[in-house]
Amino acid sequence: MNRAAVSIPEKLFFKIGEVCDITGIQAHVLRYWESEFPMLAPQKNRAGQRTYRKRDVEMVLRIKELLYEDQYTIAGAKKRLTSEIRGASKLKVVTPEMGAQSLSSPQPAPTPEVEEPQHDFEEIHVEPAPPPPAPNAYAPRLQPPQTDEGRAALRRLGEQLRDILLILEAGDPRPDTHRR
């Protein structure tokens, strides 16, 4: 199966079942390839499901081509993909006519190279956020109330908790028959 023969729908994200249908690869094989090829790393949504992007689907098709058609081993395909990704900094433009020529003749048609555009973006280094402080076992994580009524309710609750604590420290007045 040639990569040009596969039509990838215009969507932002694909579920693993959709990728299976598009590429003809079973889900367990895709999951295995994710563990073997670091360049194939679909994101996971909040539900933990894999969400593939168009570039991920293209990568699956390229891996399939290397393994099944070109008969590469997994290690060989990994090396080939790594070298292709490193060499991808120079973009190659292929017109439809050039694509038709390559299908009709075994020789690859010459492709003009286009330089990658230069950007004047400043590189930004972002420091990772510090870990949150260890929570106090007795401190609630709720925000304190902003009203006088809320503060008064919290004071009453605090007094009730102190009373309960005093009762517990003094000993349980209930007989042992009620304890579990």
User: Considering the entire predicted model, what is its pTM?
Assistant: 0.48
In a domain, 103, yes or no: yes
Give Cβ neighbours of residue 52 (< 8 Å, ≥ 6 apart): 13, 14, 15, 16, 18, 19, 42, 60
In a domain, 70, yes or no: yes
Q: Is 59 exposed, middle or buried (0-12, 13-18, 19+ CB in 10 A)?
A: buried
What type of residue sits at position 95? T
pLDDT band for 68, please (50, 70, 90 cuts).
very high
- CATH classification of the domain holding 84: 1.10.1660.10
In a domain, 29, yes or no: yes
CA 36 from centroid of its chain's CA atoms: 16
In a domain, 126, yes or no: no
In a domain, 27, yes or no: yes
Structural domain tally of the chain? 1
The 10s digit of each residue's pLDDT in 111-169 is 555 455 555 555 555 667 666 666 555 555 556 557 888 778 878 888 898 888 888 88
Report strand pairing: 50-51 vs 91-92. Answer: unpaired
In a domain, 158, yes or no: no
The pLDDT value given to residue 157: 84
In a domain, 142, yes or no: no
In a domain, 122, yes or no: no
Structural domain of 89: 3-113
